[in-house]
Amino acid sequence: MVRALVLSVFVTVCTAASFGEDLLIPYDAFPSNKLAKKVKKVVDRCTFNRRLNENRFKTTSKVLNYLLDRMAFTSAIMRHLELEKYVITRRDDGVMLYDDKAGMTGVFQPAYVTPAKRIFYGDGFFDIGFLGKIRGESVLVMDYCQKEPDVMANTVTVFIRVRGLLGPLCKLASPILNGMIGKKSATLLNASAKLSEQLASDPEGVYEEIIDCDDITPGDLSDFRAEFLETAELLETADLLETVESLE
């Protein structure tokens, strides 16, 4: 039994190092050196980690980046469409407050953003049940790219570093915790993919569904309309004019 637990810890540590190397996290390119150090510490010393399988869904980079750039707005849409229950609110300093309504709460912020990679750093609490409520830091690395004109591929890796005396115990229980984190992350990502697909295929339908949502501000609605509906209307008008001109 002891040998099995030691082996589990060894595999977890080696996997963390491998993930960190494979992901090619560009610490020197982070806008904030302070955040870069925090991210590196979590990745290098993580208690456990999980890389999710690649997720492919029909959408565009424009839609996906729009939702990722406005995560508080996205969470409000998710709740209104009953895709997810989590709540995200954004502070003036850019830090976001997170509550998944299922035991996970904390703050997080983007540490690195490019058209193909996003890295988030978080700090908060997770109610595990049999281990109680634990404090920890997390890093989420998201790699995504356009595979086809209407298909995005998304791969997510999660690193968790548990603070305090529960750290060694959580490391021993990493196979169980890995499954819990993987399931929670996959549920959220699947809901995000559904919203992204729905917005890409029917932005007007999404707009009609959220227009009366109390959690969405008039400014967010105006921004949404300008980004997706007015652009579509302009394209339709341009196509109509082109058709008329060809007939003449």
Strand, coil or helix: 112: strand
Residue 223 located in a structural domain: no
Residues of the chain with pLDDT > 90, as a percent, come to 52
Q: How many domains does the chain have?
A: 1
Average pLDDT over residues 186-213: 91
Do 73 and 216 touch, CB atoms closer than 8 A? yes
DSSP string, 63-101: HHHHHHHTHHHHHHHHHHTTS---EEEE-TTS-EEEE-S
The pLDDT of residue 68 is 93
- Is residue 160 domain-resident? yes
Does any domain span residue 11? Answer: yes
Give a yes or no: residue 112 inside a domain. Answer: yes
In a domain, 159, yes or no: yes
Cα–Cα distance measured from residue 247 to residue 211, given in angstroms and rounded to the nearest whole number: 38
- Asked if residue 237 is part of any domain, the answer here is no
Contact 113, 121 (CB under 8 A): no
The answer to whether residue 210 sits within a structural domain is yes
Domain with 196, as residue range(s), is: 2-216
Q: State how far the alpha carbon of 127 is from the alpha carbons of 164, 171, 180, in Å.
A: 15, 16, 11
Higher-confidence residue of 104 and 173: namely 104
Q: Calculate mean pLDDT across residues 6-12.
A: 40
Residue 162 is which amino acid?
V
Per residue in 56-106, pLDDT (tens digit) is 999 999 999 999 999 999 999 999 999 999 999 999 888 999 998 888 899
Contacting residues for 36 by C-beta, under 8 A, at least 6 apart: 27, 28, 30, 111
What was the pLDDT predicted at 82?
94
CATH code for position 197 = 3.30.530.20
* Distance, CA of 72 to chain centre: 12
pLDDT reported for residue 53: 85
Dump pLDDT digits (tens) for 22-51: 567 999 999 999 999 999 999 999 888 888
pLDDT, position 231: 62
Considering the domain boundaries, does residue 232 fall inside one? no
